[in-house]
């Protein structure tokens, strides 16, 4: 049996695995920071809607599209999902995914 081949293969496999671990860790960190950023945006946007109910319809629609993550949704669709359905985050994600 060729021990040199298996030794190189094991070294290559070890290197690949150890290189993959930090990449996966970084991916999870990006996800957490994205959730924080989404929360901050939603908080500011909904406070703005509360303080100025006469907000221009363009700003309102763009804000709701940003929350939904899809520019093809109308204001009425996003508001319905957020206000009328249980578990609005999951419902909105399911609606956006299912609509396309």
Interval 8-53: pLDDT, tens = 888 898 888 888 888 777 777 777 788 889 999 999 999 999 999 8
Is residue 64 within 8 A of residue 42, CB to CB? The reply is no
Interval 58-92: pLDDT, tens = 999 999 999 998 888 889 999 999 999 899 999 99
Q: Which of 83, 44, 86 is nearest to 66 (CA)?
A: 44
- 100 band by pLDDT with thresholds 50, 70 and 90: low
Q: What Å distances lie between residue 75 and 15, 34, 62, 67, CA to CA?
A: 50, 23, 9, 11
Q: Is 81 exposed, middle or buried (CB count within 10 Å of its CB: 0-12, 13-18, 19+)?
A: buried
Residue 1 above 70 pLDDT?
A: no
Q: Which of 31, 42, 98, 95 is nearest to 67 (CA)?
A: 42
Question: What pLDDT does residue 50 have?
Answer: 92
């Amino acid at each position: 049996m060729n021990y040199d081949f298996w030794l190189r293969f094991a070294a290559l496999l070890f290197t690949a695995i150890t290189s993959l671990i930090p990449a996966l860790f970084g991916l999870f960190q990006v996800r957490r920071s994205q959730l924080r950023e989404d929360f901050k945006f939603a908080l500011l946007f909904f406070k703005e809607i509360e303080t100025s109910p006469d907000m221009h319809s363009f700003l309102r629609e763009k804000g709701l599209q940003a929350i939904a993550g899809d520019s093809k949704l109308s204001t009425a669709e996003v508001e319905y999902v957020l206000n009328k359905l249980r578990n609005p985050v999951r419902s909105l994600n399911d609606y956006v995914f299912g609509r396309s």
